[in-house]
Amino acid sequence: MPITKRQEQEQSANVGLCQSCAHSRKITSAHDSVFYLCQLGFTDPAFPKYPRLPVLTCAGFTPVLTQC
Ligand code: SF4
């Protein structure tokens, strides 16, 4: 089922920066739980692989570039 704009905004607020970071990968479990994996965590121990959400500040944040 598609999510509404409001649900999308609430989800974004709950996740924080990882929602729009090039280093994050959204993972959905078999039980429909959603996790955000920080791929910087594979090479830099300063970044937890599964950061506590919402991430409000992060030195590794790299915004995803979108095409217009
Ligand atoms: S670098 Fe920071 S903002 Fe980006 S995915 Fe990792 S924890 Fe989230």
- The answer to whether 24 and 39 have CB atoms below 8 angstroms apart is yes
**Substitution site in 25, 42, 55 for ligand 1 pocket (most atoms within 8 Å of beta carbon):** 55
* Cα 45 to middle of ligand 1, angstroms: 12
User: pTM score, two decimals?
Assistant: 0.82
| Triad 10, 59, 50: Cα angle to 5° | 55
Rg (CA), the chain: 13
pLDDT at 25 over 90: yes
Share of the chain above pLDDT 70, in %: 99
pLDDT at 1 over 80: no
First to last CA, the chain: 26
Residue 8, pLDDT score: 76
Going by alpha carbons, the residue nearest to atom 1 of ligand 1 is 60
